[in-house]
Structure 1
């Protein structure tokens, strides 16, 4: 697929298509202007092929490219909780409160719903669990995060004990900064059946403080089956991060999740002081995503990929997983779309979980309509925007036609008025996208795109 940029549109002599695509170009432009109001500038937009080339190099070195190339694993060793996060199915994360004893300048908890309330008040996480189990919700992965969960040690132990008592097959994990962790707490977590613990190491901490956390990590290995580190990767910390990776590999932990560093839409001055800029473009697809983490910082992804390469070059046994901001979005799209039934012109994509449909505009409609009628392919016509819409699986029937086919990505939204379909992205199909299908055309193929 080819992005419908201004440059691409200049080469297309189809006025209705150009006008329609311009709607989305304007939305993206307006979004960028709004984002700039938060006070942090964008980087100069890099060439798209730079990232693709880097990912291909990593794949050639043995890295596993997951979730439509949004999640990169050095050696295939990844937490099952990360795998579940891809679709969100069976996965649930909660918190006792959003209170924290640390004050990270990049923390995005202020973006959470009811932040001020949960800063000073606690959830009844046991009651929350009981409600989940009583509802028949199928859970495979369960987590507690914060704030700092270990500010509430009794509630944490009760939560994981309750989960283990009700269903010991559920994979459980705990997020913590680590400095409040004690051996007594670890013994309690072990007794409660905790499967995984994830430590957050702060690169702004002193070397002594980091050594203290590394000692806690080593201690945890005697109690918890899978010990991990999960942390954002800040541009400019390459040497420190490589040293940390070597230390973690020496400890023999399960793995580390390298998170794309994000701007939480506030505290811009602190980011400017560090010389940081926003990643450009801010999104692959512009949509109202639920994830509260903010916007990706430029150069964090490049460094994350460099660290994955470093781990491969040094034959690390621990898994080194790059989790991009885009990787955080796929569970939402899957949950909104996967169980919806739309008309025969839409196909649920098993690749990115959007509903796809193909469109031709203006003068291209006549030739395409003739082929679709002959093959018995369903289609709809939009008079206002002058296009025909049909299932992408029918594209091979048009491979010898001189027409411009646009692939549309869509999300199903539910509100008080019922179900609606929101189109969120357009791409121009290229010759290589015209997959071969066997005739006669089968409507059952629609859902296989």
Structure 2
């Protein structure tokens, strides 16, 4: 059978079949359930922030939650077709992880696709069978020690669909070839090789090992993609594996953008415009005086409908559509009222990324 490299809709490269979890991720249709920051490994390239690393906290996408049921709201906001459970290592909080899978499957139905990332240090046949029983669709193992490779046999024995996740560290071509040969021998269902990334938390560890930032990227490590392409070319004629190369740019330019758009479509108010990147654009009037009185004056003078203007009590401002914000120069506003056009994320905290003063 003729094998070839193909570019995905997200700009990544696949040989063979792309895992379903990856397909949904590219669509922005997967909620990321960060179930704990606790981990048994200590990888020098770990990208986790200080807010999460080695801390027993839970996040649903960017939202910190207290329990799994709180995460359902975030999944509904993005109309999630699946969930990726990650950490840390979810197996450290095994009872919580099992509960999460059960709740997600009960709430969204058995077709809600769930994959889980683990280093498998804590994986036993009992745990693997339990994961299979509650409906885990994919287990993605990142073996950090030689002895962890035998855990793949355990996962396969339990009937789980097994993938392997490997960061592409420049200069490790021979090691990567050996891992791919071993993966094929163990009959894994797919392999993801991931471009190595700089983050604020791992930057020092990468720098002291001589790694540099790729000139065309804000996060990618120089040489990682070249090494990955070398591995793909070798795998093409030397293995029958389903193998996927996931570049760092896919996460922001495709996966995050699509997920933000899905959330924006769900949470945007009538006066907020959605950009191609999934951000929300609107006008704001910041004023220390009487906001109710000012809002009523704007409505009266410009004939603004109630659903195109709102008082944000928490942020002490009036919010309007971009069009209305541009019209405010035609009326007399209080001297201390400041008008801006802003862009913000459609996330829980509505993080602002851009503002232009209009007066």
Q: Shared fold by TM > 0.5?
A: yes
Give the Cα–Cα distance (whole angstroms) in 2 for the partners of residues 186 and 68 of structure 1. 31
- Residue aligned with 1:248, SS: helix
1:187-198, aligned counterparts within 5 Å? 187-198=129-140
Residue-by-residue CA offset, 1:312-362 (whole Å, 9 max, x unaligned): 111x33211000000111122234557779xxxxxx98xx999xxxxxxxx
Q: Residue 298 of structure 1 corresponds to which residue in structure 2?
A: 222
Give the Cα–Cα distance (whole angstroms) in 1 for the partners of residues 351 and 163 of structure 2. 42
Does the 8 A contact of 1:254 with 1:318 survive in 2? yes
- Residue aligned with 1:96, SS: strand
**1:274 pairs with 2:209:** yes
Q: TM-score, normalised by structure 1?
A: 0.55
Give the Cα–Cα distance (whole angstroms) in 2 for the partners of residues 216 and 417 of structure 1. 42
Q: CA deviation at 1:266?
A: 4.0
Q: Residue 78 of structure 1 corresponds to which residue in structure 2?
A: 18
Residue-by-residue CA offset, 1:232-266 (whole Å, 9 max, x unaligned): 11011110110110110111111111110112234
Does the 8 A contact of 2:78 with 2:259 survive in 1? no
Does the 8 A contact of 1:144 with 1:174 survive in 2? yes
Give the Cα–Cα distance (whole angstroms) in 2 for the partners of residues 417 and 268 of structure 1. 27
Give the Cα–Cα distance (whole angstroms) in 1 for the partners of residues 95 and 161 of structure 2. 22
**1:104 pairs with 2:67:** no
Give the Cα–Cα distance (whole angstroms) in 2 for the partners of residues 176 and 201 of structure 1. 8
**1:160 pairs with 2:96:** no
Does the 8 A contact of 1:196 with 1:224 survive in 2? no
Q: CA deviation at 1:68?
A: 5.2
User: Relative to 1, partners in 2 of residues 1:313 and 1:188: Cα closer, same or farther, differing over 3 Å?
Assistant: same
1:360-379, aligned counterparts within 5 Å? none
- Residue aligned with 2:153, SS: helix
- Residue aligned with 1:145, SS: strand
User: Relative to 1, partners in 2 of residues 1:313 and 1:170: Cα closer, same or farther, differing over 3 Å?
Assistant: same
Give the Cα–Cα distance (whole angstroms) in 1 for the partners of residues 258 and 105 of structure 2. 28
User: Relative to 1, partners in 2 of residues 1:305 and 1:131: Cα closer, same or farther, differing over 3 Å?
Assistant: same
Q: CA deviation at 1:84?
A: 1.5
User: Higher relative CO (CA 8 A, sep ≥ 6), structure 1 or 2?
Assistant: 1
Residue-by-residue CA offset, 1:360-401 (whole Å, 9 max, x unaligned): xxxxxxxxxxxxxxxxxxxxxxxxxxxxxxxxxxxxxxxxxx
Does the 8 A contact of 2:72 with 2:104 survive in 1? no
Structure 1 residue corresponding to 2:52, chosen from 115, 132, 145: 115
User: Relative to 1, partners in 2 of residues 1:327 and 1:188: Cα closer, same or farther, differing over 3 Å?
Assistant: same
Does the 8 A contact of 1:160 with 1:192 survive in 2? yes
**1:320 pairs with 2:249:** no
- Structure 1 unaligned segments of length 5 or more: list them: 1-59, 203-208, 284-294, 342-347, 355-410, 424-449
- Structure 2 unaligned segments of length 5 or more: list them: 59-64, 269-274, 280-341
Does the 8 A contact of 2:48 with 2:201 survive in 1? no
Q: CA deviation at 1:272?
A: 3.4
Does the 8 A contact of 1:145 with 1:175 survive in 2? yes
**1:127 pairs with 2:74:** no
Q: CA deviation at 1:102?
A: 1.6
User: Relative to 1, partners in 2 of residues 1:159 and 1:241: Cα closer, same or farther, differing over 3 Å?
Assistant: same
Does the 8 A contact of 2:27 with 2:255 survive in 1? yes
Does the 8 A contact of 1:96 with 1:124 survive in 2? no
Give the Cα–Cα distance (whole angstroms) in 1 for the partners of residues 350 and 86 of structure 2. 34
1:310-349, aligned counterparts within 5 Å? 310-314=234-238, 316-329=239-252, 330-336=254-260
Q: CA deviation at 1:412?
A: 6.4
Q: CA deviation at 1:161?
A: 2.0
Aligned residues between the structures: 277
RMSD: 3.5
Q: Residue 194 of structure 2 corresponds to which residue in structure 1?
A: 259
